[in-house]
Amino acid sequence: MKGNLLLLLLFTTLSGYAQNTINNYKYVLVPEQFSFFKEMNQYNLNSLTKTFLEQKGFTVYFDNKNLPTELANNKCKALNADLTAKKGMFTTTLILTLTDCQGNVVFKGKEGKSREKEFSASYGEALKNTFVSLDELPYTFTGETQEVETVKTSEAVVVPTNPPAVAVESTESSETLYAQATANGFQLIDTTPKKVLTLFKTSVADSFIADSGQFKGIVLKKGGKWFFDYYNNEKLISRELQIKF
């Protein structure tokens, strides 16, 4: 009984530590190529990792791209995402880790496994499964509040203020779009009929690379509804879609 209680207390402590620690970080850096692959973004795994982290609420960049000044001047403001792969004869296994700038493990996910035979589908499913344990942790960025320093002068105390959060603009489309199958996914047609969006399959269910001709982003299902997420003038737009497959 005492042993079980000790294990419970230990698990609770570790879980609370992980939750509080990820809340200290706004940014995550993702490599464009994982060490177990020979190609950049192989099987779209790096892009999907970036997308899943953004869905969690992080601001995510590829590690060798142009970074905002705040992050470029101090990469310790970001966590570094990485995947570890275990390739069995019939099973693909991926493990997500988030480390700080000194290499300390801040978060380590459970093993995400897949028995899909096709590599693209197998890695995509394994990635989705290792993210489950991260998705279970509540995340709200509180790092700036915790890092505020009080600067004393002869006349006043100056406290830095928090920067404004990145705005997300949500829009809703009442028009029904009809999905027509293509070799690589679907095209969404309105009642005109006119092609509105082209969807390209990924290795993750209910997630597509999307191209409207004007904007490129992703179409994915959230909470049972379809959304087209893309950037316009550095603002994230999340447009709800009515799709009939």
User: pLDDT 10s digit of each residue in the chain, 245 long?
Assistant: 444 444 444 343 344 344 447 888 999 999 989 999 888 888 889 999 999 999 999 999 998 777 888 888 888 889 999 999 987 778 999 999 999 888 899 999 999 999 888 888 888 899 999 999 998 888 888 865 333 333 333 343 344 444 444 455 666 666 888 888 888 889 998 888 888 999 999 888 889 999 998 888 999 988 889 999 988 887 888 899 999 88
Range list of H helices, 73-118:
none
Do 104 and 62 sit in the same domain of this protein? yes
Q: Is residue 23 in some structural domain?
A: yes
Strands 225-232 and 235-244, bridge-based pairing: antiparallel
Do 130 and 173 sit in the same domain of this protein? no
Tokens 């000044």 identify what position? 69
Q: Is residue 73 in some structural domain?
A: yes
Domain that holds residue 99: 9-142
Q: Domain holding 96: CATH number?
A: 3.40.50
Residue 198: CB atoms within 10 A of its CB come to 19
Do 15 and 125 sit in the same domain of this protein? yes
The tokens describing 177, both together, are 């779009």
In total, how many domains does the chain have? 2
Length of the chain: 245
Whole-prediction pTM:
0.53
DSSP-based three-state secondary structure for 8? helix
Residue 51 CB partners (closer than 8 Å, separation 6+): 207, 218, 220
Q: Is residue 42 in some structural domain?
A: yes
Do 36 and 85 sit in the same domain of this protein? yes
